[in-house]
């Protein structure tokens, strides 16, 4: 029988969503063109070639190495792309993803990525075209609600603020806003204006966000209601405490 | 119900805490209506800042032009909102004014809000206040503003011309 990865315990909708994010079994909700994504990321001009930091690996004449032979380089590494980042902030008011689950998604489903998890934001560093692949999947699928999540390279403030009157997460740099029912972004992730208005799609309704979120909240699905998760969290805490207990005698 | 404990001078302090950050239009309507209520001596609005320029990262120095940063008209005074209003604290005369303010909030705010009594403005000068304003600071200005800021930038005195 083939092994099937289990990813995350629990019987609630939040646990099921966490499993979806980790496994990469995600529903695609919107379409964002490559040029729009490049403009929003702001690392290079939309439509331009990827700048490189070294010649393509095929031209470099790599030394004989069993690891290099066993592990195929990612497309970005093969082409010699620069390392660039994408950073997201997700509102605590039932945004679909949490920083940890964005990291799990990137680390489990992609090679050559370096996810960084912080309390209110999550960054993925990788070769430029590899990073764009991760960013595109996260933006186009149920991992992101354009109203409750945002591409934020700096000034990420907003994830723990109350929502605005229109239900959109506060953004100090006003990179994107609700216009006629859809979220329009006209600045890149560090707040520099771009030459286009990128349509990021319709924000989720409150009910849909509550259904798709990976946040445990007492006003939606409470953490303590997920008995299996609580049991496993207790088990992990107990085992790591025992592991850390090393009397020097 | 908890008893309302007034300050030494017999006044009460209240805080309005909406469940959403107010946009400039709602904030203008609410502040205009509150301005019509007799018995409010001091009001402080607080919320996340709306900077004029990007102040960190590779975009430092770029203009933000935040759509929520607007000039609002309250009575005869124009105020540029440099924050997204998330909290309003008021120093009021008595419990009747408190109920009047609650009615105003219920009429204007389209979402729930918390409304509580407490001690929100400090009554003694802190070390920062002393360093900024010296020993003869106006006691009614205490707790009204960031001690690092200029009084002219952050404090508006409504109806000052009328009383002069």
The pLDDT-based confidence of A171 (bands split at 50, 70, 90) is very high
A124: left (phi over 0), alpha (psi -120 to 50) or beta: beta
Residue found by looking up tokens 């799990």 in the block: A104
Question: Given an 8 Å threshold on Cβ–Cβ distance, is A164 in contact with B23?
Answer: yes
Q: Which residue in chain A has the smallest CA separation from B112?
A: A165
Tell me how close the Cα of B149 comes to any Cα of chain A, in angstroms: 20
- Domain extent at residue A153: 13-241
Which residue of A lies nearest to B68 if distances are taken between CA atoms?
A: A174
CATH for A65 = 3.90.320.20
User: Regarding predicted confidence, which is higher, A244 or A216?
Assistant: A216
| Cβ contact B49–A172 (<8 Å) | yes
Contact B89, A221 (CB under 8 A): no
* Residue of chain A whose alpha carbon sits nearest to that of B113: A162
- Whether residue A247 lies inside any domain: the answer is no
* pLDDT at position A43: 96
A172 contacts B64? CB cut-off 8 A: yes
Q: What's the pLDDT score for residue B2?
A: 57
> Is the pLDDT score of A112 beyond 50?
yes
Residue A8 covered by a domain: no
Kindly tell me if the per-residue pLDDT of B162 is higher than 50.
Answer: no
A136 occurs within a structural domain: yes
Query: How high is the mean pLDDT of chain A?
Result: 95
Contact A116, A125 (CB under 8 A): yes
CA–CA–CA angle A65, A70, A75 (5° rounding): 100
Residue A165 with chain B: CB contacts under 8 Å: 20-23, 26, 110-111
CA distance A175 to chain B (A): 9
pTM score: 0.90
Residue A248 in domain: no
In 3D space, the residue among A58, A89, A80 whose CA is nearest the CA of residue A128 turns out to be A80
Q: Which of A38-42, A216-220, B15-19, B41-45 has the lowest mean pLDDT?
A: B41-45
Residue A135 lies in a domain: yes
Residues B40-54 have a mean pLDDT of 92
Please report the pLDDT score of residue B163 as a whole number: 45
- Interface touch B58/A166, C-beta < 8 Å: no
- How far is CA A36 from its chain centroid? 18
Which chain A residues contact residue B49 at CB under 8 A? 172
User: pLDDT tens, A53-102?
Assistant: 999 999 998 899 999 999 999 999 999 999 999 999 999 999 999 999 99
Q: Is residue A3 part of a domain?
A: no
Report d(CA A16, CA A21) in Å as an integer.
9
Any residues with CB less than 8 A from the CB of B19 and at least 6 apart, and which? A162, B111, B112, B113, B114
d(CA A33, CA A199): 10
| pLDDT level of residue A249 (50, 70, 90 thresholds) | low
In this prediction, residue B115 carries a pLDDT of 96
pLDDT, residue A4, reads 87
When divided into structural domains, chain A yields a total of 1
Of A157, A164, A188, the CB nearest to B21: A164
Give B-chain residues touching A166 at CB under 8 angstroms: 23
């Amino acid at each position: 029988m083939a092994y099937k990865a289990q990813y995350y315990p629990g019987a609630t909708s939040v646990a099921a969503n966490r499993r979806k994010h980790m496994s990469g079994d995600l529903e695609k909700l919107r379409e964002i063109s490559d040029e729009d994504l490049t403009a929003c990321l702001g690392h290079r001009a939309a439509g331009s070639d990827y700048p490189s930091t070294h010649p393509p690996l095929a031209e470099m004449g790599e030394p004989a190495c069993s690891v290099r032979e066993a592990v195929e380089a990612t497309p970005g590494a093969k082409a010699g792309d620069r390392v660039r980042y994408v950073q997201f902030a997700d509102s605590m008011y039932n945004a679909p993803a949490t920083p940890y689950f964005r990291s799990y998604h990137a680390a489990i489903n992609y090679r050559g990525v370096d996810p960084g998890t912080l309390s209110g934001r999550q960054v993925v560093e990788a070769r430029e075209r590899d990073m764009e692949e991760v960013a595109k999947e996260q933006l186009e699928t149920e991992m992101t609600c354009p109203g409750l999540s945002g591409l934020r390279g700096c000034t990420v403030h907003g994830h723990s603020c109350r929502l605005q009157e229109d239900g959109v997460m506060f953004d100090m740099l006003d990179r994107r806003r609700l216009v006629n029912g859809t979220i329009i972004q006209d600045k890149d992730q560090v707040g520099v204006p771009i030459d286009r208005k990128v349509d990021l799609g319709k924000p989720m309704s409150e009910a849909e966000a509550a259904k798709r979120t990976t946040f445990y909240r007492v006003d939606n699905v409470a953490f303590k209601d997920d008995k299996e998760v609580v049991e496993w969290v207790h088990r992990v805490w107990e085992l790591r405490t025992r592991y850390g207990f090393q009397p020097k005698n | 119900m908890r008893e309302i404990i007034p300050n030494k001078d017999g006044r009460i302090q209240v805080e309005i805490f909406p469940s959403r950050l107010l946009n400039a239009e709602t904030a203008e309507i609410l502040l205009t209506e509150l301005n019509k209520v007799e018995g409010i001596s001091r009001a402080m609005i607080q919320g996340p800042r709306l900077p004029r320029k990007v102040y960190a990262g590779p975009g430092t120095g770029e203009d933000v032009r935040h759509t929520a940063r607007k000039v609002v008209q309250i009575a005869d005074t124009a105020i540029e909102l440099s924050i997204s209003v998330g909290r309003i604290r008021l120093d009021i005369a008595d419990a009747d004014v408190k109920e009047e303010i609650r009615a105003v909030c219920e009429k204007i705010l389209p979402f729930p809000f918390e409304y509580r009594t407490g001690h929100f403005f400090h009554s003694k000068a802190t070390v920062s206040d002393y360093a900024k304003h010296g020993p003869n600071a106006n006691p009614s200005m205490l707790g009204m503003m960031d001690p690092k800021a200029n009084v002219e930038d952050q404090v508006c005195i409504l109806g000052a011309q009328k009383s002069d």
